[in-house]
A and B are shown apart, each in its own frame.
Chain A
Amino acid sequence: MTHGFAVDRAFATVAFKRRLAYKTQWVLGLVLGGGAMLVSMALWHDLLADGALSGYDWSAMRAYIIIGFVTATVVFGAADWQIADRILDGHIAIDLTKPVDFQRARAAEYVGSMISTVPTVIVGVTGAWLLFDPPGPATATAGALTAVSFALVFPLAFGITYLTVLVCFWTKRYLGIMWLREALLGFLSGMMIPLAFMPSWLQAIAWASPFPHFTATPAAIYLGHVDTAGALGLLAAEAAWAVGLWFGARLVFRHAVKKVTVHGG
């Protein structure tokens, strides 16, 4: 087990270093992510100038936007293309000759690449806090449970990303799948617009998917829109999705690996 964790740490470290190897990309991520947050702030400031909408006033929305920035930075900054490329260009042949679980190795790499976004998150959140002075968590318990929800975003994001990347075994292309996933993620997670602004039937669809746990769940807990029992229920659902996606991905991979067709040397 210790050896297993040492291997995970080694994969995560390598992925982290690979991300740091491209400093311009890192800086651009910070500028673009921060820029998007500023645009959101300006937009919602105007929209909520006359008072609360769908239960969100300007104070709550400031915290909501910052939470959305955190999860979007972590999720969209991870190295999904690196996994997809390994499948598409046949590098998976090399991976399959190594004595490691393919999914676990990719998960460790994914976490490593996600961790590389933490400095962006720290810079972005600190800047936003100084500029917009958002409210703190509704209670100390809510703050702690929000942190748990953020932590669960890592396995959840990997599960969704990895499953969509595995589709490449059948489609032989990744771009369209990535667009679809990111559109669903951006919309149904509440990153773009809080789910409360959507019609009830669309909210029902969203909550039947894992996507709201990326933004709507941590935001609802942080802002006190749910009590402690409700927060624990949301966290249980978030964890269940993470576990379900992990084992679902295992089943898909077992089938997908039979489709490996690496021609030529």
Chain B
Amino acid sequence: MPILEARSLSKTFRRPDKASGFKGAVKHLAQRKYKNYTAVDGIDLSIEAGESVAYVGPNGAGKSTTVKLLTGILKPSEGTVRVMGRDPHVERIANAHDIGVLFGQRTQLWWDLPVEESLKLLKHMYGVSDADYKRRLAMFDDLLDLGEFMPALARTLSLGQRMRADLACALIHDPKMVYLDEPTIGLDISVKDRLRAFLRELVDNGTTLLLTSHDLADIEEVCERIVVIDKGTIAYDGPITQLKAHYITTKAVNLYLEGPADVPALAEKFPDYAWAAGEAPSEVTVTYETSRFSTAGVLGSLTAQLAPRDLSLSEPSIEDVIRRLYAGELTK
């Protein structure tokens, strides 16, 4: 039985339909008009216990709204959600006991108190025993260096420290299901790396994770499955490896020649490959279809006939694939 199951999940908001300017403001005051906006449109989603799922999409695609529906914050306009067998909106308090939530753009720390006070309050809320609380704090300290800013007021923390503290707040009660909405937003590379390693460990220990992020490195490093949402509907749902295997059908070799590259002549000489000029005059990129040519064969023929000074191999990133999915170039 899935730990989370959503069927035909939809959320429609009513937004004021107001013309700009003074005239528009006065007109709206006298005659109010509203437009319906569907943020999530008939989503089906099923997550098994222990899965790590990336939930990605462009801005305004409906990612955060979905998370709010799944956590019980919002009431669905249509459809159903069950998390561990419960309706998260109707049985909000019971559901909240078993989930951990982090919204990267909103802190759950009490702004004018030390981090320690926020965590103590959460300990009481979740009924965490003293022994478990100490054990988990020690773990967070070990993995996130939490101890160094535990006595600091939340408002004095850097963004990276704040995010690490928020992550501890979301996980202090060892939840079975964790929702992380943009957990690495605005963080520098080193903090991101530590957070990703921490999340990977969390998943390895059996926690179910739903992660939304614009940073595709988060996704590749932490998750096995990816759900791509666009305009409120799911554009792709499957393993990341399958997404890559299915959509990444080409590879590229960057060649650095001894002299300037004559791209038209090279294209004529090797018509099976696609050729493009590189950044430098002597640089050229060769793209080939992996279903037709082996990398060893391509490299062998190119090095034998062109004797490049250097070369590097690259394949399209998951980011390229998702960009093309958003653009509608690829289908499910």
Q: Which A positions have Cβ atoms within 8 angstroms of B?
A: 3, 6-7, 9-11, 14, 17-18, 21-22, 90-91, 93-94, 96-101, 257-258, 260-265
B106 touches A94 (CB 8 A): yes
A18 touches B112 (CB 8 A): yes
Residues from chain A with Cβ under 8 Å of B74 in the complex: 260-262
Chain A binder among B22-30, B116-124, B257-265, B272-280: B116-124
Determine the main DSSP class of A at the interface with B: loop
B108 nearest in chain A by CB position: A94
- Given A22-B112, A100-B125, A94 and B93 touching (CB < 8 A)? no
B96 touches A97 (CB 8 A): yes
A99 touches B96 (CB 8 A): yes
- Given A7-B125, A11-B121, A265-B104, A97 and B99 touching (CB < 8 A)? yes
Tell me, in angstroms, the Cα distance from A178 to B117 when the chains sit together: 30
Q: Does B73 contact A (CB under 8 A)?
A: yes
Counting chain A CB atoms within 10 Å of each CB, which of B73, B93, B182, B185 scores highest? B73
Identify 6 new A-B residue pairs, CB closer than 8 A, beyond the known A96-B73, A97-B72, A97-B96. A7-B125, A14-B117, A94-B103, A94-B108, A96-B71, A265-B181
Residues from chain B with Cβ under 8 Å of A11 in the complex: 121
- Rounded to whole Å, the gap between the CB of A45 and the closest CB of chain B is 41
A262 touches B73 (CB 8 A): yes
B93 touches A101 (CB 8 A): yes
Q: Which B positions have Cβ atoms within 8 angstroms of A?
A: 13, 64-65, 68, 71-75, 92-94, 96-97, 99, 101, 103-106, 108, 110, 112-113, 117, 120-122, 124-127, 181-182, 185
Can you give 29 A-B contacts (C-beta < 8 A)? Answer: A7-B125, A9-B124, A11-B121, A14-B110, A14-B121, A18-B112, A18-B113, A21-B112, A22-B112, A90-B106, A93-B68, A93-B103, A94-B106, A96-B71, A96-B72, A96-B96, A97-B71, A97-B96, A97-B99, A98-B96, A100-B96, A257-B75, A260-B73, A262-B68, A262-B73, A262-B74, A265-B64, A265-B181, A265-B185
Residues from chain B with Cβ under 8 Å of A18 in the complex: 110, 112-113
Tell me, in angstroms, the Cα distance from A94 to B107 when the chains sit together: 8
Tell me, in angstroms, the Cα distance from A148 to B292 when the chains sit together: 88
B104 nearest in chain A by CB position: A265
A10 touches B124 (CB 8 A): yes
- Rounded to whole Å, the gap between the CB of B173 and the closest CB of chain A is 9
- Given A98-B125, A99-B93, A99-B126, A10 and B113 touching (CB < 8 A)? no
CB-contact partner of A93 in B73, B99, B124, under 8 A: B73
